[in-house]
């Protein structure tokens, strides 16, 4: 498992717990991954349920 995937999984678990604590539905939350340093392939491997796009200067 990549470090990026591991970090995303940990953040997702924290979000789930906060949703339970605050009586919110997890489907109301969108986790957005943004990176300047990781190649797009690593981000896709790490998380993507849906890839929207990327911007380059």
- Give residue-wise pLDDT tens across range 2-22: 777 788 889 889 999 999 999
Q: How confident is the model at residue 37 (pLDDT cuts 50, 70, 90)?
A: confident
**d(C-alpha 54, C-alpha 17), whole Å:** 29
Asked whether the beta carbons of 30 and 40 are under 8 A apart, the reply is no
Q: Which of 20, 38, 37 has its CA nearest to residue 29?
A: 20
Residue 48 has pLDDT above 60, yes or no: no
Output the pTM of the full model: 0.64
Residue 52 has pLDDT above 60, yes or no: no
Asked whether the beta carbons of 46 and 2 are under 8 A apart, the reply is yes
């Amino acid at each position: 498992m990549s470090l990026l995937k591991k970090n995303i999984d940990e953040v997702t678990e924290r979000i789930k717990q906060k949703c339970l604590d605050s009586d919110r539905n997890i489907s109301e939350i969108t986790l957005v991954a943004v990176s300047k340093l990781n190649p797009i392939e690593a981000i896709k491997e790490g998380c993507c349920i849906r890839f929207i796009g990327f911007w380059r200067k």
